[in-house]
Amino acid sequence: MGIRNPQVDAIFAEWAKPRSPGVALAVIHDGALVYEQGYGSADLEHDIPITPSSIFHVASVSKQFTAMSIMLLAAEGRLSLDDDVLEYLPFVPDFGHVIRVRHLIHHTSGLRDQWQLMRLSGVRMDDVITQQHIVKAVARQRELNFAPGDDHLYCNTGYTLLAEIVTKVSGQPFVDFTRDHIFTLLGMQDTHFHLDHEEIVKNLAYSYAPHLAGGFKKKVLSFANVGATSLFTTARDLFRWMLNFETHSVGGAAAMDLMHRQCVLNSGKTIDYAGGLSVGQYKGLRTVGHGGSDAGYRSYCGRFPDQRLGIAVLGNLSSLRCQELAQKVAEVYLADQMVEPAAAPAQAKPWLPLPALAGAYFLSDAGIMITVHDKNGRLLAHVESEPDSELVRTGPLGFLYAPLGVTLQFTVDDTGVVAGFSVPSLGYSAVRLNPQTIDRQALADYTGRYFSPELDTTYTVSVAGSGLVLQHWRLDDAPLVFVGDDRFVARRSDSPELRFERREGRVVGFRVMAGRVRNLGFGRVG
């Protein structure tokens, strides 16, 4: 827009400079585009600025468009959300439970997440990962994480399969269906699902991450799959998408109603997830939206429907917290309608010395281990494959972890000993591991080669020094931390937990727990 809004601009001042990645912003209020702006650079190598028409990969913001495609077909009676997915996708194994279309939409199918399956099989996230790679990985699965509808566990696999269902039912490739039935009709001329990683895209913002030595580094992304991710769009085009939630010009009332229906689990519990959208509230006001995160791309597209306010924040830096930035923008427009949450009763918390916080912590939800140590009066955190990063104290037990732009809130037990930490902005929690010693003779029980038919891949467990190491020909060797009861945690970026199984006292295999993958089996070879 022509007139600058100093209050909004101040929110993004940190990135509003030529030598920094940044953000594109669009704000819709009362059916009109009231503000749009770009901050920072889309391409650091050529000093190309971000504008509202810069194109971003928006990661999981894609999911609402995939869900919308399904809802359009459902509203036309061409499929039902209660249909068994095997009707459309015969390559999906019969797990002995019916997986319905709505289970895929709501992340309640029990299917294992495609990205963690890929990483466990030795695929790097900067490899080219195609639609067929994911389809083949699904076809090899033998078990579910849980019975469909019993639990809610975010699952990208479900949305890749939804894109396949759209292709099957419509007779059009998913990329063409979304173009013809959504983007063209809404005038989203700079938006497409990006299935060809070699396709040239003009005005594309490139992906970056903070370099811990200072400055920035590239975060390469070569995805060639659609449904769960890979929507390329602009802040300006997302204005047109947000407007459609009011006008219903595409989809009509029937599809819009389906988009906003929240999931009900088998237990009868209603959760906040709907059709590629999360329903929640912020400072007393109802919200509907979704974020995204792939490589260095970060995004959020959300609305305050009762106030007719919508905000799209698209970024190309991995440390950006786009939903929080959108909330700050909302406060500029809706401050007089927001209610500050009641302050929690003040409780004295000990300012624990830094050495007391040192240790290894396991985030089972994300499958990540973080090692914390004190070095010359500085608390450093280490995630495998990444350099150390200082934890900056924000309170008695709170510390900012800059690479992810999140705060770690440590917790103590009744005896005052640190038990773990939470990541409030992500809803994650970590437990403190208590590594145990194991004698060298006992290590031999676990050594050997282990094969997973579901991943068609083999790991080797070997003795290294006084411990064990997990090896895969495509991945860096990962030391195994013994935590007792035949359980080990691998020190690598995705930190899977290995639970070894015995038969008549002999180790015969292990099960992997890795966040969105549960109980994936490996059998001992030979």
CATH code: domain of residue 213: 3.40.710.10
pLDDT of residue 151: 97
**Boundary residue ending a domain (414, 432, 450):** 432
Question: Is the same domain home to 201 and 283?
Answer: yes
Two tokens at 16? 């509003």
β-pairing, 297-304 with 497-503? Answer: unpaired
How many CB atoms are closer than 10 A to CB 340? 7
Statement to judge: residues 487 and 463 lie in one domain: yes
Domain membership of residue 513 (yes or no) is yes
The CATH number of residue 506's host domain is 2.40.128.50
Residues 240, 110 share a domain = yes
DSSP string of 166-207? HHHHHSS-HHHHHIIIIIHHHT-TT-EE---TT---TTBPPP
Measured in whole angstroms, the distance separating CA 145 from the mean position of its chain's CA atoms is 18
Beta strands in 115-269 (DSSP E): 129-130, 192-193, 208-210, 216-218, 223-224, 231-233
Which DSSP string do the residues of 15-69 spell out, in sequence order? G-STTSB-EEEEEEETTEEEEEEEESEEETTTTEEP-TT-BEE-GGGGHHHHHHH
d(CA 400, CA 270): 33
Q: Which of 337, 372, 395 is the last residue of a domain?
A: 337
The reply to whether 212 and 298 lie within a common domain is yes
Residue 304 maps to a domain: yes
Does 343 map to a domain?
A: no
378 plus 501 within the same structural domain: no
pTM of the model: 0.90
Evaluate whether residue 346 is within a structural domain: no
Work out the angle at residue 262's Cα, subtended by the Cα atoms of residues 334 and 151, and round it to the nearest 5 degrees.
125
The residue ranges of the chain whose pLDDT is under 70 are 1-2, 212, 343-349, 364-367, 384-385, 404-405, 427
* pLDDT at residue 344, as a whole number: 54
Q: Could you list the beta-strand ranges (E) of 283-365.
A: 285-294, 297-304, 309-315, 359-363
pLDDT digits (tens, 9 = 90+) for 151-186: 999 999 999 999 999 999 999 999 999 999 999 999
Domain count, the chain: 3
Cα distance from N-terminal residue to C-terminal residue, the chain: 68
Range of the domain at 386: 354-432
25-35 residues labelled b (16+ CB within 10 A) or e (exposed)? bbbbbeeebbb
CA atoms within 13 A on the CB side of 76: 12
Whether residues 259 and 143 share a domain: the answer is: yes
Burial class (CB in 10 A: 0-12, 13-18, 19+), 4: exposed
Distance of CA 5 to the CA centre of its chain: 31
- What is the SS3 assignment for 214? coil
- 421 with 447, same domain? no
In a domain, 47, yes or no: yes
- What DSSP line would sit under 463-494, residue for residue? EETTEEEEEETTEEEEEEEEEETTEEEE-STT
pLDDT, residue 349, reads 66
Q: Is 154 within a domain?
A: yes
Q: Do 309 and 402 fall within a single domain?
A: no
Query: Is residue 486 domain-shared with residue 428, that is, in the same domain?
Result: no
In a domain, 322, yes or no: yes
Residue 362's φ and ψ, nearest 5 degrees, are -115, 120
**Within this chain, do residues 422 and 469 fall inside the same structural domain, yes or no?**
no
Is 349 part of any domain? no
Q: Are residues 361 and 262 part of one domain? A: no
Q: What span, in angstroms and rounded, lies between the C-alpha atoms of 483 and 96? A: 34
Same domain membership, residue 399 and residue 444:
no
Helices (runs of H) and strands (runs of E) counted in the chain: 12, 31
Backbone angles phi, psi at 430, to 5 degrees: -125, 145
- What is the pLDDT at residue 286? 97
